[in-house]
Amino acid sequence: MEITFKLCSEKDLEQLIKVSRETFISSFEKDNDPKDFKNYITHAFSKEVLLEQLRDKGSDFYFVHNQKNLLGYFKINEFGAQSELKESNGLELERIYVIERYQGSKIGLKILEKVFALAKQKSKTYIWLGVWEQNERAIKWYQKHKFKKFGTHPYLIGNDEQTDWLMRKEL
């Protein structure tokens, strides 16, 4: 499948809200308290929050398309926009989501390859990310692609404090 990547801008805000909510809900709703989850979705993927992130010079969102459809998106952060390390030689892959009906088509791998290429263009020496400790499928996928656990951090879904594994891959 031929795919393309499009750097998002403010004019993509409505579509970004839609795909962010859709992919997060399909990935995690069933595993979370409904009230906490609804509160999280309402805030984290609001116009105000996503617009602020789009305007942040240290963050980039990319849409992933084939010739006809939006397949998913990803978000990378550098410098002070990173949620943790904030080291100049690291790039955070904060979000990587493929719309459910396109999962299993190696789109995630193509996104990861794009992130590696972007990191190299930006002269980064490693990529890091946080992944929910209960998301065993994602953890195994990252491990397959040479990411290694180096720590943990808390991640709040409403009032529910969960734990993310911090994983890193040297470039």
Is 142 designated active site? yes
DSSP the chain: ---EEEE--GGGHHHHHHHHHHHHHHHHGGGS-HHHHHHHHHHHTSHHHHHHHHH-TTEEEEEEE-SS-EEEEEEEE-GGGSSS---TTEEEEEEEEE-GGGTTSSHHHHHHHHHHHHHHHTT-SEEEEEEETT-HHHHHHHHHTT-EEEEEEEEEETTEEEEEEEEEEE-
In the set 97, 126, 142, 155, the catalytic residue is 142
Catalytic residues: 142
